[in-house]
Chains A and B, each alone.
Chain A
Amino acid sequence: GAVVSQHPSRVICKSGTSVKIECRSLDFQATTMFWYRQFPKQSLMLMATSNEGSKATYEQGVEKDKFLINHASLTLSTLTVTSAHPEDSSFYICSATNRDSDHEQYFGPGTRLTVT
């Protein structure tokens, strides 16, 4: 089956630093990848849609200069949290759609970011 990985699985950083999270589709080509954020005991909130070779589309209220998204290839998208602050601490999840087949979105295992 289609597998999506994320790296790292958890990261702790100091306030003011930047953190990069990778999302990879391991066995399929993903035309589109999505980035979500999830706070404790809440649902997933869509942050942005990432299309290979083009600029990401951000949801209303999500700062594009703070959350930099790059989708350089059909198997890799990255999310960089710039100048992180404690309020950015959250669970970040990516998903990908398989361009060659079905209508399923495949989700990664998530990345736990803690900003101290």
Chain B
Amino acid sequence: GQNIDQPTEMTATEGAIVQINCTYQTSGFNGLFWYQQHAGEAPTFLSYNVLDGLEEKGRFSSFLSRSKGYSYLLLKELQMKDSASYLCALMDSNYQLIWGAGTKLIIKP
């Protein structure tokens, strides 16, 4: 079966850097997605990793290690608008997304 773990909640300070971890166990792997979801809104795509390494997109970066079943999302120069939930999702062998419960990120001034 599949299992995805990510912290329930994290707190960080405006202007700082935060790393949100995601660990997974799966029998089939076709990539890992990160989504952002503001309260009361729909999830929106942030990043996709299928090979090991770091993908950088402006203030956001995502890292994947397939051998360790591990990914992280790195957010730099935090802004108040980054307060949201961050969802880790694994694409399984059937090309379906299996979702983590999400990490609620609270940004303090």
Q: Do A and B bind each other?
A: no
